[in-house]
Structure 1
Amino acid sequence: MESAKKLATESNPSAREIENAPEDGLEKSDPTFVAATKGQVTTGYEDLGALETIKTFKICTLVCFAMAFSAATDGYQIGINASIIANTGFVARFATSVGKNGKPALESPILSGWSSIMSCGQIIGMTTLPFLSSRYGRKIAMYTYWVILVGSVIAECLARSWPGWLVAKLLAGIGVGCLQSTVPTYISEVAPTRIRGGLLMCYSFWWTLGSFFAQVALQHLSKDDPTNYITPIYTQWAQIGLMILIYVFVPESPAWCVNAGKHDQAKKHLLKLNRGVPNYDLERQFQVLVMAVEHEREVAAEQRREKWYAIFQGTNGLRTVISCWTNLTQQLIGLSLFGTFGTYFFQQAGLADPFKIKVITNSIQIATVIVIILVADHTGLAANGATGWGYIGEVSSQRLRPYTAGFAAAVTCVAGVVMNVLVPYMTNSNKWNWNLKTGWFYAGLGLPFVVGMWLLIPETTGRSAAELDELFERKIKPWRFHKTETATQRVVQLNKSEAN
């Protein structure tokens, strides 16, 4: 209570009289004091629009956008895994049987094994790296999964039999899984609140772009050199090189530093991220982080939910379910079918140029994601796959974010393992041969989850981490988040009225 009172009086001149106010008087009604007791302090930038925020926080915005580039490696890996199995040279190299047409063929168990082992690897990465990330920092986590991804690309370059490709896909899955749980967490912690949603969705932009270039490479080779499958694998070295350059230069997450008690480092990294911001008050912005972290710790201690497995308990349990829901729903409405096995599906359906069709669908996806990025922080919730990674990054509490993000992403991959086993059988003309009827399977399976999204997914646009904590602690219904005023909003209104 004393720290809340002190910060309330220091952060807003209009609240200085709180210091000597009676316990049952002004303190209970003054918006600034109430906000401070909830771990909320105004930053002074709450009234900036999205474009103004980008101009004000240029370095911070650039860092988040650059970090999202890592998703291009994720998308390229998934894209290659999805489409290279339709490459003539790849099939000739790794085929273990002859199809009905008398040509070399990849057996469904092997196809399922490759895709499933990658999903299993993702689960391993997503559920283990958060413990390293929480203890040693986000940058150590970045370097760790970068080394794993290097190993995966080396294995892909050297693989000459299906077990060798299996090992490569396991390493790729672990690296991608680590990446998927770390990058949204970092962006959520670093991004300015007003544009956090758009920056989180940049992950989907780069992912889609990476997947797109995988399809372009394979489509080009299918015309000019149909037996060449190794060149697209080699091109991953360029992405790997750019990733390490980014990781070397980006600052550590100040929020993690505060959580780890490294206050001097937090201030140093805040200055790096906010270099050039007009009238930047380091102490005030540092206290914004400190207050939010202290409030979360006090609530956790009061509820005796201080361990990592608190992500399954009480309000944090609900936040975990919400984090899981968006990406899990994607799996249940056909992500594996059109993402992992899109080119193979189109080929098995008898279409003449499956690579070209995949390039077209990816182009549409890129355009859609760009629109979503531009409007997300203005219009709010968007019913698009790009929002999935946004919720994984921002719905959880600061204290539990890496664990929640890792678990939510892993749940999606568990569903992915199941789908990666089923889809090759459903689409393979030598097996179940469901052909286009596969779409009806996903329509029936996904409908309840799509309906659930409208009831379970809250609007988080423009809310700080501390504001989201308040809304969840107050047990506000998810569909009422956007209509509910927070303590920070009341302070902003108070400051406006006093200025007028």
Structure 2
Amino acid sequence: MTTQPTREPVEEKPIPSAEHHDELDRKPLEMETAAMGQGLSGYETLGLWETVKAFKMTTFICFMVCFSAATDGYQIGINGNIIANPGFVKQFATQVNDAGEPALSASILSAWSAIMSVGQIIGMTSLAFITDRFGRKISMYWYWLILALSILLESLARKWQVWLVAKIFAGIGVGSLQSTIPAYVTEVAPTRIRGGLLMCYSFWFSIMIVIYVLVPESPAWCVNKGKYDQARKALRRLNYGVQDYDVEQHLQLYILATDHERTVAAEQRAEKWYAIFKGTDGLRTLVASWTLVAQQFIGLTLFSTYASYFFLQAGLDDPFQTTCITSSITLAGGITLVFIADRFGRRLLSCSGTTICWAANVVVGILGVTREVKATNYIFILFACIWNLGLVANGATGWGFIGEISSQRLRPYTAGFAAATSCVAGVIMNVITPYMVNESDWNWGLKTAWFYAGLGLPFTVIIWFLIPETAGRSAAELDELFERKIKPWRFHKTTTATQRTVEGRPECV
């Protein structure tokens, strides 16, 4: 009788669930995402207000850092407004006008404005090396000291030469501030609300030193320098109170992005700071600078820097009142941008704002060559206000771009050079604009707007083909889009590795 061999009981394996299949499907996507220097934070699907509520401490810190930029607005705005003040003119006058009244010569006005732009260039280009080596906080302390010195000199000045010295220190301080704060906010702010926080910078344009003592160092800089413990400390402070926040996970995201940028830079032999002029990084520098450079050629010096002086020379009875009106428009526009920048995106705001400014120049230029009627001044004021609305959109997005567009590795250098490029154009405009509007010199009056309409046309056209959408994109995602050479007007329609992982789609669109 033959006996059958005894069979060992077969272990029943559980049938894989749908969730398990999804997990397996996502593994290749996560590996692809990591290869692109990207990763998931776990907060990608939060809405705008949900992000603000989740990251309350980071939002507050970024807001306060932007608030410190009020000194920027003071130093920039004082140039063109105080020179229409009778007491100031009497103190620093070097000539008399046809009516026998004390007046400021165009050469001195040009020197004051030009030397400040030169100072900005010095600050923007030199501070990048300090920032890269010692961090963002040391840079903040440095330019605070320079700005404090400039204000002291302005307060003590009794001769125009002393005011000139004050202006170069003011320029260095403002230039340093302008290239540091947008970069810091870009590195620290949550991606979903980064745009609104960057808009706060242009809104606030002294509690500066108190703010800078309290804010943490940028985690991105810490990782770039291999200071991982300091990065962990900064991440804990920035994200205090965020539910289920994993410091190690987010530290790894920074490391992934930094390592990927270094790998790409090594492959392209672009590891040094001057890589900002080469290849893809060179394109990013051009894009980062374009919006701010464009504003110099669409009338920044005419309608903003020399606003009160221009209104006075144009024949308005109360130039300060008009300046207050345009400033109020700017204030209201700035507040609005904070709330809509992340919802509507930066590209549309930048391009349309620049176009609005150019169109306003055309209208004001037409007023300058037509017969003056009772309504001329009202139309002039209306389009000066419209110009200011356009500049709010241009300026706010422009300062955001110098931080957002650059790679994390080269951000201090790209931001500094991009901002400095606009100041180079500013030096030229600050020299010639007083001559154009001064009734004792060229006396172009409202016709000066034609000069800016002509210069600004190519910048206005090109901006629509050059500026990409950055809203909702992490620094690593922007790296991918630039590396793939996506057309700027298609950035917002292109799916990145991070998006594919979140959505579970392997295809590349």
Whether TM-score is above 0.5 comes out as yes
Work out the CA distance in 2 between the residues paired with 1:13 and 1:393: 40
Are 1:15 and 1:33, in contact at CA under 8 Å, matched by a contact in 2?
no
Deviation at 1:81, TM superposition (A): 1.4
Work out the CA distance in 2 between the residues paired with 1:329 and 1:369: 19
Deviation at 1:97, TM superposition (A): 0.8
Residues 149-199 of structure 1: CA deviation (Å, up to 9, x unaligned): 111011111111011000000000000000000000100000000011111
Are 1:332 and 1:442, in contact at CA under 8 Å, matched by a contact in 2?
yes
Aligned counterpart for 1:88 among listed residues 86, 89, 113: 86
Query: Which residue number in structure 1 is paired with residue 168 of structure 2?
Result: 170
Query: Which residue number in structure 2 is paired with residue 475 of structure 1?
Result: 485
Work out the CA distance in 1 between the residues paired with 2:251 and 2:285: 27
Query: Which residue number in structure 2 is paired with residue 360 of structure 1?
Result: 325
SS at match of 1:102: coil
Deviation at 1:379, TM superposition (A): 1.3
Query: Which residue number in structure 2 is paired with residue 4 of structure 1?
Result: none
Amino acid at match of 1:146: W
The answer to whether 1:388 aligns with 2:398 is yes
The answer to whether 1:313 aligns with 2:278 is yes
Aligned counterpart for 2:248 among listed residues 283, 287, 293: 283
The answer to whether 1:422 aligns with 2:459 is no
Query: Which residue number in structure 2 is paired with residue 124 of structure 1?
Result: 122
Aligned counterpart for 2:476 among listed residues 466, 470, 491: 466
Query: Which residue number in structure 2 is paired with residue 405 of structure 1?
Result: 415
Amino acid at match of 2:222: C
Tell me: CA distance 1:174–1:15, structure 2 relative to 1, closer, same or farther (3 Å): farther
**Deviates further, 364-373 or 265-274:** 364-373
Aligned counterpart for 1:146 among listed residues 141, 144, 147: 144
Query: Which residue number in structure 1 is paired with residue 185 of structure 2?
Result: 187
Are 1:77 and 1:172, in contact at CA under 8 Å, matched by a contact in 2?
yes
Work out the CA distance in 1 between the residues paired with 2:251 and 2:273: 25
- 1:39-118 paired onto structure 2 within 5 Å: 39-118=37-116
Work out the CA distance in 2 between the residues paired with 1:378 and 1:64: 19
SS at match of 1:43: coil
- 1:215-226 paired onto structure 2 within 5 Å: none
Query: Which residue number in structure 2 is paired with residue 248 of structure 1?
Result: 213
- 1:438-477 paired onto structure 2 within 5 Å: 438-477=448-487
SS at match of 2:45: coil
SS at match of 2:240: coil
Work out the CA distance in 1 between the residues paired with 2:153 and 2:426: 23
Work out the CA distance in 2 between the residues paired with 1:331 and 1:81: 16
SS at match of 2:177: helix
Query: Which residue number in structure 1 is paired with residue 237 of structure 2?
Result: 272
Deviation at 1:14, TM superposition (A): 7.9
Q: What's the TM-score once normalised by structure 2's chain length?
A: 0.85
Tell me: CA distance 1:328–1:14, structure 2 relative to 1, closer, same or farther (3 Å): farther
The answer to whether 1:489 aligns with 2:484 is no
Tell me: CA distance 1:453–1:13, structure 2 relative to 1, closer, same or farther (3 Å): farther
Deviation at 1:372, TM superposition (A): 1.6
Residues 243-262 of structure 1: CA deviation (Å, up to 9, x unaligned): 00000000000110000110
Amino acid at match of 2:472: G
Query: Which residue number in structure 1 is paired with residue 264 of structure 2?
Result: 299
Work out the CA distance in 2 between the residues paired with 1:463 and 1:420: 36
Query: Which residue number in structure 2 is paired with residue 35 of structure 1?
Result: 33
Deviation at 1:339, TM superposition (A): 1.1
Are 1:15 and 1:32, in contact at CA under 8 Å, matched by a contact in 2?
no
**Deviates further, 476-485 or 374-383:** 374-383
Work out the CA distance in 2 between the residues paired with 1:58 and 1:495: 32
Amino acid at match of 1:105: A
Amino acid at match of 1:326: T
The answer to whether 1:376 aligns with 2:341 is yes
SS at match of 1:167: helix
Work out the CA distance in 2 between the residues paired with 1:14 and 1:185: 41
**Deviates further, 359-368 or 269-278:** 359-368
Amino acid at match of 2:41: T
Work out the CA distance in 2 between the residues paired with 1:15 and 1:431: 74
Work out the CA distance in 2 between the residues paired with 1:420 and 1:70: 26
The structure having more radius of gyration, on CA atoms, is: 2
Work out the CA distance in 1 between the residues paired with 2:47 and 2:340: 12
Work out the CA distance in 2 between the residues paired with 1:151 and 1:198: 31
Are 1:85 and 1:91, in contact at CA under 8 Å, matched by a contact in 2?
yes
Amino acid at match of 1:284: Q
The answer to whether 1:432 aligns with 2:442 is yes
Query: Which residue number in structure 1 is paired with residue 377 of structure 2?
Result: none
Deviation at 1:16, TM superposition (A): 7.9
Work out the CA distance in 1 between the residues paired with 2:240 and 2:20: 26
Give the root-mean-square deviation of aligned CA atoms.
1.6
Tell me: CA distance 1:337–1:14, structure 2 relative to 1, closer, same or farther (3 Å): farther
Work out the CA distance in 2 between the residues paired with 1:173 and 1:14: 60
Aligned counterpart for 2:157 among listed residues 153, 156, 159: 159
Work out the CA distance in 1 between the residues paired with 2:460 and 2:331: 22
Residues 201-240 of structure 1: CA deviation (Å, up to 9, x unaligned): 1111112xxxxxxxxxxxxxxxxxxxxxxxxxxxxxxx3x
Amino acid at match of 2:86: T
Stretches of structure 2 lacking an aligned partner (at least 5 in a row): 1-18, 351-392
Amino acid at match of 1:303: Q
Deviation at 1:353, TM superposition (A): 0.8
Work out the CA distance in 1 between the residues paired with 2:276 and 2:234: 28
Deviation at 1:70, TM superposition (A): 2.2
Deviation at 1:56, TM superposition (A): 0.3
Query: Which residue number in structure 2 is paired with residue 8 of structure 1?
Result: none
What is the number of residues matched between the two proteins?
443
Deviation at 1:495, TM superposition (A): 9.2
Work out the CA distance in 1 between the residues paired with 2:483 and 2:329: 40
Query: Which residue number in structure 1 is paired with residue 11 of structure 2?
Result: none
Residues 76-120 of structure 1: CA deviation (Å, up to 9, x unaligned): 111111111111111111111111111011000000000000000
Query: Which residue number in structure 2 is paired with residue 329 of structure 1?
Result: 294
Q: What's the TM-score once normalised by structure 1's chain length?
A: 0.87
**Deviates further, 301-310 or 371-380:** 371-380
Percent identity, aligned pairs only, is 64
Work out the CA distance in 2 between the residues paired with 1:139 and 1:100: 52
Are 1:333 and 1:445, in contact at CA under 8 Å, matched by a contact in 2?
yes
SS at match of 2:39: coil
Amino acid at match of 2:260: H
